[in-house]
Chains A and B, each alone.
Chain A
Amino acid sequence: QKEVEQDPGPLSVPEGAIVSLNCTYSNSAFQYFMWYRQYSRKGPELLMYTYSSGNKEDGRFTAQVDKSSKYISLFIRDSQPSDSATYLCAMSSVVSGGSNYKLTFGKGTLLTVNP
């Protein structure tokens, strides 16, 4: 079983739809959870950063973490064509800047928002 599982999609939605992206993980030591957005042929861009369980909202984006189920989600409200990209979940057991810090990524979900 891979440490982080993410459905690669592709996922295609109409403009204005609510998008739900998910990852599951097996390593219970993971405490820090991130979502990155990656446009084609570009490096990943940090969208959301959460620690432990709970919700975090930033504009149209909401990140949820359920550590008991080892499940994290990213919701995009009022999706726009400019949201079309690959979304990668990432997680770490060590706080950033700490010793042995590294991120474990999911495969990424390719999202297309159609106008």
Chain B
Amino acid sequence: GAVVSQHPSRVICKSGTSVKIECRSLDFQATTMFWYRQFPKKSLMLMATSNEGSKATYEQGVEKDKFLINHASLTLSTLTVTSAHPEDSSFYICSAMTWDTQYFGPGTRLTVL
């Protein structure tokens, strides 16, 4: 099956710093990638849809200036959490689309102190 990787798997940072999370499709090209956020015992909440070479489409209530998404190539999308605060602490998961299926990365645990 298709493999999606995320890096880093875990990051701890100080309040006010920015953190970049990478999402890569390892063995296929993905024109569309998605970024989700998951709180403990909660469902995955779609944050944004990222299309290669164009601006991301953000879901209602997601601050696009805080969560910067770049999808520069068919195998890489990045999410940058700018000026992170403790309430941004969460599990961030990306996914990448093949022609008919969405494959998920292993997730990144962000802790903001």
Contacts from A to B (Cβ < 8 Å): 4, 6, 8, 36, 41-46, 49, 88, 96-97, 101-103, 105-108
Kindly state whether residue B100 has any CB partner on chain A within 8 Å.
Answer: yes
Provided the pairs A88-B44, A107-B42, A108-B43 are in contact, do residues A102 and B49 lie with their beta carbons within 8 angstroms? yes
Partner of A97 from B49, B97, B105 at Cβ < 8 Å: B97
- CB atoms of A88 and B43 under 8 A apart: yes
CB distance from B106 to the nearest CB of A (A): 5
| Interchain CA distance A49-B102 in the complex, whole Å | 11
CB distance from B61 to the nearest CB of A (A): 15
CB distance from A74 to the nearest CB of B (A): 16
Report B53-102 residues with CB < 8 Å from chain A CB: 91, 93, 95, 97, 99-102
If A4-B43, A49-B101, A105-B43 are given as contacts, then 20 extra A-B residue pairs at C-beta distance below 8 Å, sorted by A number, are A8-B41, A41-B109, A42-B107, A43-B6, A43-B93, A43-B107, A44-B44, A88-B44, A96-B99, A96-B101, A96-B102, A97-B97, A97-B99, A102-B46, A102-B49, A103-B34, A103-B44, A106-B43, A107-B41, A108-B43
Contacts from B to A (Cβ < 8 Å): 4, 6, 32, 34, 41-44, 46, 49, 91, 93, 95, 97, 99-107, 109
| Interchain CA distance A42-B95 in the complex, whole Å | 12
| Interchain CA distance A8-B106 in the complex, whole Å | 21
- CB atoms of A46 and B43 under 8 A apart: no
Output the nearest chain A residue to B100 by Cβ-Cβ distance.
A96
Provided the pairs A41-B109, A97-B97, A102-B34 are in contact, do residues A46 and B44 lie with their beta carbons within 8 angstroms? no
| Interchain CA distance A102-B32 in the complex, whole Å | 11
Output the nearest chain B residue to A49 by Cβ-Cβ distance.
B101
- Residues of chain B lying within 8 A (CB to CB) of residue A36: 104
Output the nearest chain B residue to A97 by Cβ-Cβ distance.
B99
| Interchain CA distance A96-B44 in the complex, whole Å | 18
- CB atoms of A43 and B100 under 8 A apart: no
| Interchain CA distance A88-B104 in the complex, whole Å | 13
